[in-house]
Amino acid sequence: MNDTNIPNMGLAAHAPAEVLDRLSEEWAALTPETQKAARYILENPQDVGVSTVREIADAAKVKPNTVVRMARQAGFEGYEDFRAPFREAIRQGGVPFEDRARWLQDIAKSGDMGGLYADMIGGALRNIEETFAGISLEALTKAAETIWVSRNTYTLGVGVNMSNAQNFTYLASTGMVDFHAIPRQGSTPVDDLALGDQRDVLIAMTMKPYRREVYDAVNIARDQGMRVIAISDSAASPILRKADHRFVVAVDTPQFFPSSVSTLAFLETLLSFVVSVSSEKIVQRVEKFHSRRHALGLYMEDNR
């Protein structure tokens, strides 16, 4: 048995696979009870980062202090130190959605909401930085020009991206016409694109796990001669392959669903570029739109 604790070199120094290898190496030195705990962890490593010491103990049919002893016999200070690399893997997005949800619940149980708060803020800022670091001014300008000269612009998003598509379309409608968020209520993306041709543009977005209806819509749009602006979370995304304009956004988060922060930031930036390459009449439309709202009393006026 190695009684020396693993040096504290930070979470990045130990991947979950290294921890499991260490546990296997120390197998012969473990007691029969700690071997029961170790066997459960080796067979169910996905549970470590999202389970408390009591939950692991119950699943392995041992006492909680047995799990703690197992971690110490493997060279860690305790169970929390032992499972730290597994929790970090979850933060980095290397586990399924359902395990991320369990991890969030575990944080709430332990009272570690400060860690979650920091992770969410750090993740949002990092996603925006990574997204715009990989997007050139030229690429954005070309995509904006494609939108501006089009007859219709269809923005497609399903699931969490439906609201992103609707938000983009709503903002665009304050100064431009012929912007459509799809799928429309009671319709399907392919039906909404039925009359599209080379004069029209499809902005399509989907993140892992990629939605088939978005992929199918991109293929149909291309077959009909439409130009495609694709937004996804990987350069290997299937919707980017046939797109005229390709944009990759970072969506990693401790949450169990992809973050929309960088997607919204990208769409807002794209729209600002569309306005920049547009004609003077857009400014007049925006002014008319908001003047009408004021005239109708839709805004609360500050009369202080």
pTM of the complete model: 0.69
Domains of the chain are 11-111 (1.10.10.10), 134-279 (3.40.50.10490)
Q: What is the largest CA-CA distance in the chain?
A: 81
21-54 pLDDT, tens per residue?
A: 888 888 888 999 999 999 899 888 888 888 889 9
218-241 pLDDT, tens per residue?
A: 999 999 999 999 999 988 899 998
- Residue 186 half-sphere exposure, CB side, CA atoms within 13 Å? 0
178-192 pLDDT, tens per residue?
A: 999 999 999 999 999
- 151 close to 158: Cβ distance less than 8 angstroms: no
Question: Is the pLDDT at 6 greater than 50, yes or no?
Answer: no
pLDDT averaged over every residue in the chain: 85
The C-alpha atoms of residue 288 and residue 121 are separated, in whole angstroms, by: 38
Residues 6+ apart with CB under 8 A from 204: 156, 157, 214, 217, 218, 221, 228, 229, 230, 231, 239, 243
Which residue has tokens 């119950």? 58
134-155 pLDDT, tens per residue?
A: 899 999 999 999 999 999 999 9
Tokens for 167, please give them: 């938000």
pLDDT of residue 18: 83
Question: Is the pLDDT at 175 greater than 80, yes or no?
Answer: no
Helices (H), the chain: 16-25, 32-43, 53-60, 64-73, 79-91, 97-110, 113-133, 137-148, 160-173, 189-192, 212-223, 261-277, 281-295
